[in-house]
Amino acid sequence: MILVERVVEPASLTANKTKWLDDYLLAIKNYQANPIIKNKRLKLLAENKYRQQDVKTSLKNMFEGKCAYCESHLAHISYGHIEHFKPKSSYPEDCFNWKNLLLGCEICNGAQYKSTHFPLEAENGPLVNPTVENPFVFFDFEYDPKTGLANVLGKNDRGITTERLLGLNRPDLIKHRSRIVRRIAYVAIKASQGDNEALIEMRKLVEKEEEYSAFSISLSNKFGLVL
């Protein structure tokens, strides 16, 4: 997870968000008053108005095609989710709020992990939002050369809660991420030994479009590389 600067709000949201929200809140009210299939469908239809192409494109560009949470590349294997940081089921007023939308992978945002969870302060929340907070305040991105594993370690209560609820150390993710970070660590070591080509490569690996760039940044700091 890295800090990402939010881009300008997509035109479809700017033009329609007020009406969409009014329609959505009314549809929720109608369904709660009369929970028949027709009203459920109308609620879902009103809710899904955020799924506009310009919204998805803006999020893909903003996050460089990576999951906002686990930093895995999505575009070549997945469409990704327009993710509501505050779940729309609990915070319907933020359903069309541009500042509440992220790009997420199906697993971080899926039923086994984040889903509709949003812990409050009393529950060691809220989750870390990479568009407004520096993830390095909450996590250590640690590569262990003895085990060859790359782990995201919470540095405080919110970091620990976020790591757990997003599954940032789930086995399949660790396996894939560690293969990549092992190579990054090798380049960082070579750069620290004076290899100029390795130093040039590290300058590329810390860029925000690179997969698991948080680990590249962490390794660069660990080896005192001047990038």
Q: What is the pLDDT of residue 100?
A: 98
Q: How far is CA 140 from CA 53, 153, 187, in A?
A: 35, 5, 20
**Residue-by-residue DSSP string for the chain:** -------PPPHHHHHHHHHHHHHHHHHHHHHHHS--HHHHHHHHHHHGGG--HHHHHHHHHHTTTB-TTT--B-TTT---EEEESS-TTT-GGGTT-GGGEEEE-TTTTSTTTTTT----GGGT-----TTTS-GGGTEEEEEETTTTEEEEEESSHHHHHHHHHHTTT-HHHHHHHHHHHHHHHHHHHHHHTT-HHHHHHHHHHTSTTSTTHHHHHHHHHHTT---
pTM of the full structure: 0.94
Q: What is the pLDDT along the chain (227 residues), one digit of tens a residue?
A: 999 999 999 999 999 999 999 999 999 999 999 999 999 999 999 999 999 999 999 999 999 999 999 999 998 878 889 999 999 999 999 999 999 999 999 999 999 999 999 999 999 999 999 999 999 999 999 999 999 999 999 999 999 999 999 999 999 999 999 999 999 999 999 999 999 999 999 999 999 999 999 999 999 999 999 88
Q: What is the pLDDT of residue 78?
A: 80
Q: What is the pLDDT of residue 76?
A: 81
Q: What is the pLDDT of residue 164?
A: 97
Q: What is the pLDDT of residue 49?
A: 96
Largest CA distance in the chain: 70
Does residue 98 contact residue 36 with C-beta atoms inside 8 Å?
no
